[in-house]
Amino acid sequence: MSPLRILRWAAWALVAVLLVQMGVLGLHWYRGERLIPGREPVVTTTGVPAVGGPFSLVNHRGERVTQDTFKGKPTVYFFGFTHCPEVCPTTLFEMSQHLKQLGPDADRLNVVFVTVDPERDTPELLKTYMESFDPRIVALTGTPEEVTAAAKAFRVAYRKVPTEGGSYTMEHSASVIVTDAQGGFVSLIDYHEDKATALAKLKRAIRG
């Protein structure tokens, strides 16, 4: 083989090696695994969000309940407070309407309202407040520490905001959390979500 042909063959071999290396690097880049020395590849995982967990609270009838109390049925959780001017009563009213629309299937669903204002929302006050909504909705309260633990388990944020006159209001997450019969996360219902879409999510949870 002539020297010229050898040089050409070597050049083509080098090009082929470079193309292979570029292809490997491109594949890793596409997968989000940048090959940086000393750095672990980026790993993307899928699964069910860790929403929900152990809690111990008191219902508006004065009874101690835990997460196990509601297992066996899909459960809807909403965190709010009785002095809420709009979001909370609107959400509870809409949930009452959904239960009515579900007909007999409503008995296969738990609906739970958890206060984020335990200082004011005693079981007695909650009992009076819940008279305005479907009687199947259960309201829960507890000590500030118990409420904080429950909100943390459900990834719910809230905080006290001072108002004029020395009083306060509460800012809190407004989404409704839907869990399955074992307490696992199923979906969220946003505050401004279309009523038909929200009802469809409840039906899917009931039917599993």
In tens, the pLDDT along 86-115 reads 999 999 999 999 999 999 999 999 999 999
Q: Are 127 and 61 contacting, i.e. CB atoms less than 8 angstroms apart?
A: yes
Look up the domain containing 2 and give its range.
Answer: 1-46
What CA–CA distance (Å, rounded) separates 172 from 159? 7
- What single-letter DSSP state applies at residue 59? E
What CA–CA distance (Å, rounded) separates 190 from 174? 7
User: Rounded to two decimals, what is the model's pTM?
Assistant: 0.76
**Residue 51: inside a domain:** no
**Residue 113: inside a domain:** yes
What CA–CA distance (Å, rounded) separates 80 from 89? 9
**Dihedral pair phi/psi, residue 118, rounded to 5°:** -65, -20
Q: How many domains does the chain have?
A: 2
Question: Is the domain of 185 the same as that of 90?
Answer: yes
Tokens 């508006």 — which residue?
Answer: 60
What CA–CA distance (Å, rounded) separates 126 from 60? 5
Q: Find the helix packing angle between 87-102 and 195-207, rounded to 10°.
A: 60
pLDDT over 80 (residue 187): yes
Question: Is the domain of 38 the same as that of 84?
Answer: no
Give the CA distances from residue 110 to residues 18, 105, 107, 199, in Å, rounded to whole numbers and listed in that order. Answer: 62, 11, 8, 14
**What's the pLDDT at 109?**
98
Question: Is the domain of 6 the same as that of 104?
Answer: no
pLDDT over 50 (residue 70): yes
Question: Is the domain of 23 the same as that of 126?
Answer: no
Q: Which residue has the higher pLDDT, 92 or 16?
A: 92
Q: Are 140 and 113 contacting, i.e. CB atoms less than 8 angstroms apart?
A: yes
Nearest to 65 by CA among 98, 131, 113: 113
Question: Is the domain of 30 the same as that of 119?
Answer: no
CATH classification at residue 174: 3.40.30.10
Boundary of a domain, candidates 46, 68, 83? 46
Q: Are 141 and 115 contacting, i.e. CB atoms less than 8 angstroms apart?
A: yes
For 167, the token pair is 């009083």
> Tens of pLDDT along 113-161?
999 999 999 999 999 999 999 999 999 999 999 999 999 999 999 999 9
